[in-house]
Structures are given as C-alpha cells and as structure tokens.
Amino acid sequence: MNASPPHDPDGAAKQYLDDMAARRGYVLEYHKVMAANDFPVLQAADALVQAAYLSQRLLDRRTKELLFILSLTVMRSDKAHIQSHIRVALDLGVSPAEILEAIEIALPEAGVVAFQHGFDAWREVVDAPRLEPRTS
C-alpha cells in the first residue's frame, strides 16, 4: 500500500523545510519525507531541536556539534546523519582533528565498533590521508 502523494497546496511545508536548512545547515531525508507527509509532527520535533540544540544557551554551537557527533557515533546513527553534523562543525571552524578527538571519546565507553562507525563517517567527509605499510 502506497502512502498518499505529498500535498502542500500553499507551500508552507516547503518554506518550513527551506527555513530548517538555513537554520541548521542541513536537512535529513526524514525531514523531507515528514514535511510532505506529517508536517505538524515535523514542526513539533523541530521545536525540540531548536530549544535543545540550536538556541544559544550556555554551550556554543561548536561544542554542541562535537557532542552531537559523539552521541550519534555512540548510537551508531546513519552515516549520513553523522556526516551532516561533521560538515556543519567544519563550517563552524571546528578542525578535522578536533572532530576526530570527539569521536575518539567513544572508544572507552562504547567500544571499537561504535568508534569505527563514526571514524568512517569522518574519514569520508574530511578525505583523511592514510599511510600504507611497507611491503617486504
């Protein structure tokens, strides 16, 4: 059974999605689908993100991005989600080394598998250099 086709006659959901992208620096695939299929729930979820993450409170946006990257790594979130926050952090002036250090915090508590998940997302975004072992 297919869902009904997206319906946004006055363009409010599309405008809201555009505004989200401007505020956050990204939108995820689920944001796009929710805008088309359940706009009120997208607005409610976005309001929570606005209050906890985007609003300036005690932590600055750079710190929040590092925390987001770490928490998404530990949860083994979708790679694209982690990468969207890595890109925002880079745009905010966070260095690739700082982002890697945040991801490395996953090692003692969440383990190597969680770390590798976040590391792989980071490696692709920053195009990290690599060394090859010498062959005998």
pLDDT in tens, 21-46: 998 888 989 999 999 999 999 999 99
C-beta of residue 31 within 8 angstroms of C-beta of residue 42:
yes
Helices (H) and strands (E) in the chain, counts: 8, 0
Domain shared by 62 and 122, yes or no = yes
Assign residue 77 a region: left if phi > 0, alpha if psi is -120 to 50, beta otherwise? Answer: beta
- pLDDT at residue number 38: 94
Domain shared by 62 and 42, yes or no = no
pLDDT in tens, 55-95: 889 999 999 999 999 999 999 999 999 999 999 999 999 99
Mean pLDDT of 5-15: 79
Domain limits for position 97: 58-127
For residue 134, report the phi and psi dihedrals to the nearest 5 degrees: -70, 140
Q: How many domains does the chain have?
A: 2
pLDDT in tens, 96-113: 999 999 999 999 999 999
Residue type, 57: R
